[in-house]
Chains A and B, each alone.
Chain A
């Protein structure tokens, strides 16, 4: 990095923090500058001040597990959790300034905010804002899948509704949310109602089950819960994507045979499962444990799905990529993206035809790094991975989002706050 760049970052830190303070103390500002937390070289003094400000400030930089998406006009919408509330905020300048947050849930509730189990946001065909999250119940390993929507551009939200319809106190967790091109809203999650039933009969039941519900009236109501498969892994996020014009594809870590924790794939539609579950990855990772490593997926063509996943079997170790063909059940172009120990939580994005980004997180002994690799031929060949962001303290999972054909890394870190970092094929490191 040049001296000039360092100077610019220093100015951003100072001016950004000044702007933030102005907004805080003016009391009338609707937005504030996030510049203080967009650069990587925030001083200790400023970090301490941030911590103090965050005790009384609701902000995407102060909350937990921010997750968002750009709408078609280029506005970035983000939800985050702070003090038992889910908040919505937006930015019209790619994450430099954010609007005053709006509460989603009117009544406070405990919300899961770990990287694998975090709130989700999706934007509907008529500019609806849909939000799902998992409410933590007092009983261990239990929770409910919650949903709310805004039909007035995020000014207000409908009362939160519980999507799981069994009325049981058990685990309904790890929600995944998506809207299809018709405007239908799909929510999938991991559910232990069948495990509970089996145990009440003194029968063994491995893992959890995959369930889903769909709304065909833009989130006003949802279908009865539908079971997709028994014996999913219990503690890994679910990957969900669009599937053509209508329906959703779901990709999740599943327990095959006794304890083989590879991945399964299914297509679901408004009337039920449209293509039966099938095994998608064959790594033969046998482990009786919680991997805490869910996969990533996105549709890349008719019936073709780009997938990235973590495994640690004797044959395959690290993060893998492949293109799954739903009709044939074949995985094409499967390749290892990294064998590095500690590489975790991959994300995929296809900002335009032919171009794929894959990002993941790794700790190098001193810093947590976000690595990025690109493919310009839809996943056949990949460039060497490079560092695109780093932090020296705690950090969230990386997310990839897109504004038109421009891709961004969305990353929340303790030191730097929330950042949207634009990605390019030949990436420059953002914060060294």
Chain B
């Protein structure tokens, strides 16, 4: 059973995560969810990241997000796990471990992996981590592979100018 988030994504900035209690929950990601996410952050930049429990570079990227959070960086982050929804507890534990329990977090709600991937991006073939930097107009830039501090800083600098 997929738990429904009790948190409003609008308050889920990394800065404000400091104030929320340590309870990670994921929303169920279905074919319509990418539109819901994009609509929620309408006119706002955000970083969309696909990851998986079985992806070692994804853990390193979560550690980077954790570090940025401790540094007080403030940006909208959305995590989508492609794992089977039965692994929600494992996912929760990982997010808590990295102090990312308050992040706007989703998990694939169906085992039709290809279909859900296609709705995010038909060009994405499943490599992870896979990230999309959205600007305020929601033009997005796709990046395959582990993000670096420099890449995120460049985006943060750009979105703040």
**Smallest beta-carbon distance B28→chain A, Å:** 16
Say if the beta carbon of A222 comes within 8 Å of chain B.
no
Beta-carbon contact of B130 and A289 below 8 Å = yes
Using known A-B contacts A394-B113, A414-B111, determine if residue A290 contacts B127 with beta carbons closer than 8 Å.
Answer: yes
Chain B's closest residue to A362 (CB) is: B114
Beta-carbon contact of B114 and A289 below 8 Å = no
In chain B, positions 89-115 with a C-beta closer than 8 Å to chain A are 110-115
User: With the chains together, A342 CA to B120 CA distance in Å?
Assistant: 12
**Smallest beta-carbon distance B123→chain A, Å:** 5
Residues of the A chain whose Cβ atoms lie less than 8 Å from the Cβ of B144: 287, 289, 312
Chain A's closest residue to B110 (CB) is: A394
Say if the beta carbon of A293 comes within 8 Å of chain B.
yes
Beta-carbon contact of B122 and A289 below 8 Å = no
Interface string of A213-253 (1 = CB under 8 A from B): 00000000000000000000011000000000000000000
**Smallest beta-carbon distance B147→chain A, Å:** 9
Residues of the B chain whose Cβ atoms lie less than 8 Å from the Cβ of A343: 125
Count of chain B residues near A, Cβ 8 A: 26
Beta-carbon contact of A288 and B118 below 8 Å = no
Beta-carbon contact of A363 and B118 below 8 Å = yes
Chain A's closest residue to B147 (CB) is: A288
Using known A-B contacts A342-B118, A368-B114, determine if residue A292 contacts B53 with beta carbons closer than 8 Å.
Answer: no
Residues of the B chain whose Cβ atoms lie less than 8 Å from the Cβ of A288: 57, 145-146
Residues of the A chain whose Cβ atoms lie less than 8 Å from the Cβ of B128: 289-290, 292
Residues of the A chain whose Cβ atoms lie less than 8 Å from the Cβ of B111: 394, 414
Interface string of B9-47 (1 = CB under 8 A from A): 000000000000000000000000000000000000000
User: With the chains together, A368 CA to B43 CA distance in Å?
Assistant: 34
User: With the chains together, A259 CA to B148 CA distance in Å?
Assistant: 14
Residues of the A chain whose Cβ atoms lie less than 8 Å from the Cβ of B57: 288-290
The prevalent SS among residues of B at the interface is loop
Chain B's closest residue to A173 (CB) is: B54
Beta-carbon contact of B145 and A287 below 8 Å = yes
Residues of the B chain whose Cβ atoms lie less than 8 Å from the Cβ of A365: 118, 122
Say if the beta carbon of B3 comes within 8 Å of chain A.
no
Residues of the A chain whose Cβ atoms lie less than 8 Å from the Cβ of B118: 342, 363, 365
Beta-carbon contact of B125 and A310 below 8 Å = yes
User: With the chains together, A7 CA to B110 CA distance in Å?
Assistant: 31
Residues of the B chain whose Cβ atoms lie less than 8 Å from the Cβ of A140: 53
Say if the beta carbon of A341 comes within 8 Å of chain B.
yes
**Smallest beta-carbon distance B148→chain A, Å:** 9
Say if the beta carbon of A291 comes within 8 Å of chain B.
yes
Say if the beta carbon of A428 comes within 8 Å of chain B.
no
**Smallest beta-carbon distance B95→chain A, Å:** 13
Residues of the B chain whose Cβ atoms lie less than 8 Å from the Cβ of A141: 54, 56
**Smallest beta-carbon distance A286→chain B, Å:** 8
**Smallest beta-carbon distance B155→chain A, Å:** 17
Chain B's closest residue to A394 (CB) is: B111
Residues of the A chain whose Cβ atoms lie less than 8 Å from the Cβ of B117: 342, 363
In chain A, positions 271-295 with a C-beta closer than 8 Å to chain B are 287-293
Contact of A344 among B115, B122, B126 (CB under 8 A): B126
User: With the chains together, A141 CA to B122 CA distance in Å?
Assistant: 28
Say if the beta carbon of A72 comes within 8 Å of chain B.
no
**Smallest beta-carbon distance B37→chain A, Å:** 20
User: With the chains together, A393 CA to B114 CA distance in Å?
Assistant: 9
Say if the beta carbon of B154 comes within 8 Å of chain A.
no
Interface string of A254-275 (1 = CB under 8 A from B): 0000010000000000000000
Chain B positions within 8 Å of A, measured between CB atoms, are 52-58, 110-115, 117-118, 122-123, 125-130, 144-146
Given contacts A291-B127, A312-B127, list 17 more A-B pairs with CB under 8 A. Answer: A141-B54, A259-B145, A289-B128, A289-B129, A289-B130, A289-B144, A290-B128, A292-B127, A310-B125, A341-B122, A361-B114, A363-B114, A363-B115, A368-B115, A393-B112, A394-B110, A395-B114
Can you spell out 9 A-B residue pairs with CB atoms less than 8 angstroms apart?
A: A235-B56, A259-B145, A288-B146, A290-B52, A293-B125, A342-B118, A342-B123, A342-B125, A363-B114
7 nearest A-B residue pairs (beta carbon): A363-B114, A289-B145, A394-B111, A288-B145, A288-B146, A290-B55, A394-B112
